[in-house]
Structure 1
Amino acid sequence: MGIFAKPDHEKMSYPATQTKHTLPLSLICDNIRDPGNLGTILRCAAGAGCNKILLTKGCVDAWEPKVLRAGMGAHFRLPVITSLDWDIVPNYLSAGTKVFLADNFRPDTQQKTDVSEKASDYGWVSTDPRKIFIAEEGYESSSDEEDNREKLYIPGLEMQSYYERWAQGPCAIVIGGETHGLSIESLLLADKSNGKRLYISVVPGIDSLNSAMAASILLFEGKRQIENTMKKKS
C-alpha cells in the first residue's frame, strides 16, 4: 500500500493519445454517491473523449478506493475537478457550452419532479411543466403572504430523445444521482445555456436506468454527434 497526495489537475499531464482525441464534451456529476457508479462514469467519460469531469459537492470522493478500482485509471487520463459549488461550475466550462440534463421523465406521461431535496437546493420544484416554482424550505406563510412575497420561477426545459441532434458544439452533460435525481441548480444552469433534457426511452415498467448506464449512453451519443459534425466541417 502506498500513501500519496491527491493529484492536482492543473499540474498533471495526460497521455498524448488521450488529449489527441479529446472532444468539446464535458461531464457534470450531480450528487453521485455510489462509488461503483462514479468510477464507471469516470471510465466511460475517458473512453468517450471528454475534456473534463466536474463533480459538485455531495458526490462521493473521487479518490475513494472503490471509485479508483471502478475507474480503471480514468482519473489519470483527463481532469477530474471535485467539490465544486454550483455557482463556480460555469467557470470550468468553455464559452458557448450548452448544458444538457439526463432525465428519466417519459414524454407520454405526466411531468414529475426528479430534483434533489437537499438543503442546498433551497426547496422544491413544482410539477407544472410550463413553469417551475421554487419555495424555500421550512417557510410557512398564509396565502396572502405567499401572494405578496417574491416568487422565483424558471422555465420548464424542453425534452428530446437522446438520439436527436443536440451535440453540435461545446456541450456538457449533467448526470444526477439515483437517490435524489437532478438538483435545482442543474436546472438553472441548463436553462441559462439554452440546454435541454435528454430522454432515454425504456420499455414500460422500468423506472429508469442506472446512472452509470445513462451516462455511457449519452456520452457516446454525444461523441458520435460531435465527430459527425467535425467531419462535415472538414
Structure 2
Amino acid sequence: MKTISSRDNAQYKEYKHLATSSQARRKAGLTLLDGVHLCQAWLDLRGLPEQCIVSETALKNPEVAEIVGKIEHQRAHCIAMPDALYNAISQVEHGVGVMFVVPTPERAVPDALAVSAVLLDNVQDPGNVGSILRSAAAAGIKQVFCSGGTAFCWSPKVLRAAMGAHFVLDIFENVDLAALMAKAKVPTLATSGYATKRLYEMDLRRPVAWVFGHEGQGVADDLLSLATQTVVIPHLGQVESLNVAACAAVCFFEQVRQNQS
C-alpha cells in the first residue's frame, strides 16, 4: 500500500481536481465513489477500481479493512493518507474514509429505442437525477439517456443519490433526444401537467420510453410534439405539480404494478 502524506503530491492534486471539478472528471474519464456502500457495490457488480483511497483511521474499520483486503489480494492499487488529506477530498461529511477512483463508461448510443428506457431532458438537479436512476434500476429499467443540459450522471452528488444504480444501468449522456425519439421502436410517454390522458389509463404492459423534463419548465415543446403520448399524474392536493423524481417513481412503479398484476 502506497502512502501520500503531502498536499503537494501530484497524484493528490489529481484527486482534488476529480473531487471538485466536473470538467476534470469529464476530461479524465474518471470519477470518485465515496463510502463503503458504493465501493462494495462497484466490487460486486463491476470489479476492481482504478485505485482505492483510504484514510489512516478508516483502516481500523472492519468494513473498510475487508474492502482493502480484497483490493490488495488482487494486487490492485491502494493508497492511504492522513485523515486531514482524505477529508479535503471527500465530499461526504462524517464519512467512513474509503473511496474508489473508477472509469466513467462511454457507450455508443443505440440506433433506436427498443426496450424500456428513461429520457432526461435538461434535468439539472443532481439529487433528482440520482433519485430517478435509483428508481429506474429498482423498476427493472436498463437504459437512461440524458440530454446535454442534464446533470452529469457520474458526479459525486448523483452517485450518492443513486446508491449504486449506475452499476446496473446503461447510461448515455449528451444525447440528441429528439433524434432518438424520432426513431423509437417503443412508445414514448412524456409527462406534462397539461396532458389530458391520465397515467392510470395507459396500458403499460409493454416496453415504453419515459420522458421527463426540467424541474421548472418540464419537457421541451419539441420533445412533447415527438412523444407518442403525453400523460399526467392526477393529484388531489392544491399543488401545481410533483417533483420530477417523485413523478418518475410513480410512473415506473405503475408500470411495474401493471406487469405484475
Q: Please give the alpha-carbon distance, in whole angstroms, between the structure 1 residues aligned to 2:167 and 2:259.
A: 24
- 1:86 Cα offset (Å): 2.5
Match of 1:167 in 2: 204
Would you say the 8 A contact 1:165–1:225 is kept in 2? no
Residue number in structure 2 paired with 1:200: 233
Task: Tell me: higher relative CO, structure 1 or 2? Use CA pairs within 8 A at least 6 residues apart.
Answer: 1
Whether the 8 Å CA contact 2:117–2:209 is kept in 1: the answer is: yes
Match for residue 188 of structure 2 among 99, 104, 120: 99
The structure-2 alpha-carbon separation of the partners of 1:91 and 1:185, relative to structure 1 and needing over 3 Å to count, comes to: closer
Unaligned runs of 5+ in 1: 11-22, 106-157, 229-234
TM-score, with normalisation over the residues of structure 1?
Answer: 0.61
In the alignment, structure 1 residue 183 sits paired with structure 2 residue 220: yes
**Contact (CA 8 Å) 1:54, 1:89: kept in 2 or not?**
no
Q: C-alpha separation between the residues in 1 aligned to 2:237 and 2:182?
A: 40
Letter in 1 for 2:174: S
Q: Determine the structure 2 residue equivalent to 1:57.
A: 148
CA contact (8 A) 1:159 1:196 kept: no
In structure 2, runs of 5+ residues without a counterpart are 1-98, 109-113
Distance, in Å, in 2 between the alignment partners of 1:201 and 1:175 is 16
Structure 2 counterpart SS, 1:198: strand
Q: Counterparts in 2 of 1:34-183, with a 5 A limit?
A: 34-90=125-181, 93=184, 95=185, 97-105=186-194, 159-183=196-220
Superimposed CA distance per residue, residues 98-145 of structure 1 (whole angstroms, 9 cap, x where no aligned partner): 11111223xxxxxxxxxxxxxxxxxxxxxxxxxxxxxxxxxxxxxxxx
Q: Which has the higher helix share?
A: 2
Indicate the structure (1 or 2) with the bigger Cα radius of gyration: 2
Following the alignment from structure 1 to structure 2, what is the Cα–Cα distance between the partners of residues 187 and 160?
Answer: 13
RMSD after superposition? 2.2
Aligned-partner Cα distance in 1 for 2:124–2:165: 18
Aligned residues, how many? 158
- What's the TM-score, normalizing by structure 2? 0.55
Give how far 1:225 is off.
2.3
Per the alignment, in what secondary structure is the counterpart of residue 83 of structure 1?
A: coil
CA contact (8 A) 1:102 1:174 kept: yes
Alignment of 1:1-12 (within 5 A): 1-9=99-107
**C-alpha separation in 1, matches of 2:207 and 2:118:** 11
